[in-house]
Amino acid sequence: MRIAIFGKQFSPSFLPHCLFLCNELRSRGAEIIIYSDFYDFIKSLDSDAIKVDGTFNSRAELSDVNVFISVGGDGTFLEAVTLVRDASIPILGINSGRLGFLADVAKEEIESAMNYIFSGNLKYKQLDLLCLETDAGLFGDLNFALNELTIQKRDSASMVTIHTYLNGELLNSYWADGLIIATPTGSTAYSLSVGGPIIHPSSKSFIINPIAPHNLTVRPIIVPNDMQITLKVEGRADKFLASLDSRSVVFEDSIELRVKKADFSISVVDLPGISYNQTLRNKLMWGADKRNY
């Protein structure tokens, strides 16, 4: 089995767990390739700590990879998605921090996760993405997002007006600080922090969620993800900020933005014993109420 490992810098206290992961893979006969910057970081902590079969820097070097392991938080997982893209390689997220919806394998669960990967009965789930199309080619070939598209003003002087259309029909003109178009996966990210609903990952929907709307009766709305959402932005300034997950570009008010479901999905390793309901209870502490005990 060929395993790719991707990661970012982590606390030195997580190093033993990272080394445990690599040793578990090697003991099972896996061929390990690791992202070169991540490899250099680990070597900087302990020059003799890790032995791998090779390194990689781009998606072109991921041929024949069976599982892609992301070590870090949800931000690291989102970067991993930009490497995997439409290659249909299952991603496993190992959490080196405190909170993660995408990187949901805790350090204490690494061994059990490896047992499952090498069990010969690997299952995975599909997560939908959104795609942004513009005549200006914003974001190039990275014009997709697993979590959300965010449109925001660039300064603190005034609101923006975002004219929003569903399949060509006007939905609303949002007077706000910005607008979020979120996937079900992204419903527990930025959208949640500005009052958006939580949507189950299997739902075929988008959330349209204004950021600090001027009119308090304007609320988030859930729409089917087979609709095209068209955005036209205007304001006192003529340039605004668009973000796809963690990637941002500045665009002019003359540019029309068209959002639709991406034509590929991301495969995520579906570990037994970890359900979405359980993740919500644990990560959002829904059960942390003394009335439950």
Round to whole Å and give the CA distance between 128 and 146.
7
- Reported as a pLDDT band with limits 50, 70 and 90, residue 221 is very high
- CATH assignment of 129-264? 2.60.200.30
pLDDT of 170 strictly over 80:
yes
pLDDT confidence of 157, banded at 50, 70, 90? low
Contact (Cβ atoms closer than 8 angstroms) between residue 244 and residue 179: no
Tokens of 153: 């003003």
Q: What is the pTM of this model?
A: 0.92
pLDDT at residue 291 in the model: 66
- Nearest CA to 187 among 89, 257, 95, 276? 276
Catalytic residue among 74, 104, 128, 177: 74
The dihedrals phi and psi of 81, each to the nearest 5 degrees, come to -60, -35
The least confident of 74-88, 133-147, 272-286 is 272-286
Instruction: List the domain boundaries for the chain.
Output: 2-123+270-292, 129-264
Model confidence at 196, in pLDDT bands (50, 70, 90)?
A: very high
- Calculate mean pLDDT across residues 184-192: 96
Right CATH number for 2-123+270-292 from 3.40.50.300, 3.90.1150.10, 3.40.50.10330, 3.40.50.2000? Answer: 3.40.50.10330
Active site residue 74: yes
Q: Could you read off the pLDDT of 172-186 as tens digits, one per residue?
A: 999 999 999 999 999
Cβ burial, residue 244 (10 Å; 0-12/13-18/19+): buried
Backbone angles phi, psi at 62, to 5 degrees: -100, 20
